[in-house]
Amino acid sequence: MRPKGHCYLVYIIQTAIQFLISGLNSLRGIEKTFQILSLHWRYSTASTPNFNTIRQWTLRLGLYELNRPKEYREDWIFILDMTIELGVAKCLIILGIAQEKLTKIIKQEKRSLQHKDVEVLRIEILEKSSGTVIAENLNDLTKDVGIPIQIISDRGSDIKKGIDLYRAENPGVIATYDVTHKMANLLKKELLPDETFQDFLRQCSLTRRRVQQTKLYFLIPPKQRSKARYHNIDILVEWAMKVVNYEKQQDFSLISTIYNLDHEALELLNSILTQDVLSLLKPLTSQIYENRREFTESILKYLGKELWEAHEEIICQSCDLGRRKFYAKLGWVLNYQQDIYAYAEILTLIRSVQIHLKTQGLHCESVTKWMKKTLRLIL
């Protein structure tokens, strides 16, 4: 069956849109996928859909979703945000979900809200996002779908002012601070004055530049965002924990397997070994060994079994190029080890608050239930 004015069957159009929305494929990627599938599928047309055709199908579906009449209800929950900025223009989006539906998701399905659960109630491109303009959009939307019982936002200055103006005319509406932004702001107040944490951020930024295009790239720090930085502190802390755990394994072969008793190694050993032992090692400074086994066999011949067993570990550590490169570029992370564990605990608590509220909702027993669950985790 073909929709009116289309040359492709409904199932092809549906499949293309699902590839884009559910499969998260690119438009040109979907075009190539159809070309491959055409070798096995029998189309009623000789051609496969072009990426621009797929874009038009998706835009038409989105336009229908935006323009279709929404149900007039008394239990709407609005979610406001300023999403895309392009030049002076900003995009105001208002999503909605009925309290009845949200309650079912929380109590029966026991999960957090997902994109598929909400409806797009309004999209407006604004050149001036003043509080008055926000309030006007809320009032216009209210005429079509009804007065909401709750409005959730990140409390950006313009959005907060607009909601306040709207609530002045509709005092029964509850204004709720989005928990993700609330937690990020609390974290910012905690960590922004923390000089140790700010030093840690600076070191992460410097290290990122230093290890790019090196064999340490697999341990490169995540890129820090200029905006909403405290929404993404967890990835930096997780990276630091990864580095600490890598160091604990004491296996630096991913960086380099080479052992070399060079000048730097002798400098490290100078304050540890006696001059007699060092004099035995100096003839080997020009040799490079591909791995620890080759290095061990060679040094053992010069030192003898007794001396080698007494100094094996310290000599190998000093001559391990992978180890030396790791400590030269990433050894600083170990100085923050205790602080990193403290930051990780803070983030664990924040994450537990977010999960609790997003999966169980906000009610009069929220604090009590969260405290009981948190105490079990701690103890």
pLDDT in tens, 132-174: 999 999 999 999 999 999 999 988 888 999 999 999 999 999 9
pTM, to two decimals: 0.76
What are the structure tokens assigned to 324, written together?
């030396």
In the structure, what pLDDT confidence band is assigned to residue 66 with cuts at 50, 70 and 90?
A: confident
Q: What mean pLDDT is reported for the chain? A: 88
How far is it, in rounded angstroms, from Cα 103 to Cα 285?
72
Non-local CB neighbours of 84 within 8 Å, separated by 6+ positions: 90, 91
How far is it, in rounded angstroms, from Cα 49 to Cα 26?
14
Cα–chain center distance at 132: 34
Q: Does domain 76-176 have CATH number 3.40.50.20?
A: no
How far is it, in rounded angstroms, from Cα 101 to Cα 223?
38
Q: Give me the amino acid identity at 353.
A: V
Q: Give me the amino acid identity at 357.
A: L
Asked whether the beta carbons of 154 and 181 are under 8 A apart, the reply is yes
What are the structure tokens assigned to 353, written together?
């608050």
Burial class of residue 195 (count of CB atoms within 10 Å of its CB; 0-12, 13-18, 19+): exposed
How far is it, in rounded angstroms, from Cα 36 to Cα 94?
39
How far is it, in rounded angstroms, from Cα 283 to Cα 138?
82
Burial class of residue 138 (count of CB atoms within 10 Å of its CB; 0-12, 13-18, 19+): buried
Q: Where in the chain is the domain with CATH 3.30.420.10?
A: 76-176
For residue range 67-111, list pLDDT tens digits in order.
Answer: 888 999 999 999 999 887 777 788 999 999 999 999 898 888 888
Is the pLDDT confidence value at 378 over 60?
no
Mean pLDDT over 118-133 rounds to: 89
The conformation of residue 115, written as its DSSP 8-state character, comes to: G
> What torsion, rounded to 10 degrees, do the Cα atoms 62, 64, 69, 71 define?
-40
How far is it, in rounded angstroms, from Cα 315 to Cα 55?
63
Buried b (16+ CB within 10 A) or exposed e, 296-314: eeebeeebeeebbeebeee
Asked whether the beta carbons of 318 and 262 are under 8 A apart, the reply is no
The phi, psi pair for 97, rounded to 5°, reads -145, 140
Give strand ranges (E) for the chain. 76-86, 89-98, 119-126, 150-153, 174-177, 259-260, 288-289
Query: Quick one: pLDDT at residue 77?
Result: 94
- 5: closest CA among 53, 47, 69, 65? 53
What are the structure tokens assigned to 305, written together?
């079994």
In the structure, what pLDDT confidence band is assigned to residue 45 with cuts at 50, 70 and 90?
A: low
Give the lowest-confidence range in 140-149, 191-200, 220-229.
220-229
Cα–Cα separations (whole angstroms), residue 367 to 130, 177, 212, 363? 35, 16, 45, 8
Q: Which residue has the higher pLDDT, 265 or 226?
A: 265
